[in-house]
Amino acid sequence: MKKIYFFIFFIFLVGLVSSEEIIVSPGEINFDILQGQISCKNITISSYGEIALKDKWGEKWSATKELSEYFLSKEELNLHLDYSSDIFIENKTKLSICFSGEDIGRYHGVLLVKNKESKSGIGIWLNATIRGSSYTSRLTGAFLNSENKANFSLLFWLSFTSLLLILVFVFLLLKKK
């Protein structure tokens, strides 16, 4: 049933796309990486025609939703944001956006997506955090970021139970003697 609703919603969205209109999802992307790491996220663009993409960044640590505050380039902040800046779309496409950077900090940017024939465009907010890549943080960060938090909990309880059983076993052994 849920799939039918999704299908109807999708058909409706496709129906909304006129020749120059543009629809983008999501409206905001978050990157949380260690120094030197690369993180990729997908965006979906629905439109028809040539699409131009470009990104602008605000001052480091500054978080505002005023577009006029975003006037820096990624090069000025020593950031890397890789994507296809010029694409042709016939209906709907997924686009990969990959982020990396060297300098620790919190960065806010905007990815501007525009159909070249249209007078309107969409801005996707980019929120990026680059953390230090010390040995410890690399270990814990890699483990915690690997979506294995449930496994961590399971591992902990299994280890704890095993330890307790060993203790009980040793206790019983000593008692027999």
Kindly list the residues in this chain that would bind another protein in the complex (CB under 8 A): 2-3, 6, 9-10, 12-13, 16, 18, 20-28, 44, 65-68, 110, 112, 114, 119-125, 150, 153-154, 157-158, 160-161, 164-165, 167-168, 171-172, 175
d(CA 146, CA 95): 23
Are the beta carbons of 101 and 78 closer than 8 angstroms?
A: yes
Q: Least distance from C-beta 23 to another protein, angstroms? A: 4
Angle between helix 135-144 and helix 149-176 axes, rounded to 10 deg:
100
Q: Which residue has the tokens 């076993």?
A: 169
Q: DSSP secondary structure string, 150-162?
A: HHHHHHHHHHHHH
- Could you write out the DSSP letters of every residue in 135-148? HHHHHHHHHHTTT-
CB of 36 to another protein, least distance (A): 29
CB of 39 to another protein, least distance (A): 17
Comparison of 78 and 85: residue with beta carbon closer to another protein: 85
Nearest partner of 64 among 31, 109, 102, 123, judged by Cα:
109
Looking at beta carbons only, is 26 or 36 nearer to another protein? 26
Kindly tell me which of 34 and 124 has the beta carbon lying closer to another protein: 124
**Least distance between another protein and beta carbon 119 (Å):** 5
Residue among 65 and 80 whose Cβ is closer to another protein: 65
Q: How far is the CB of 10 from another protein (least distance, A)?
A: 8
Backbone φ and ψ of 150, nearest 5°: -65, -40
Tokens describing residue 81: 């944001």
- Among residues 37 and 47, whose Cβ is nearest to another protein? 47
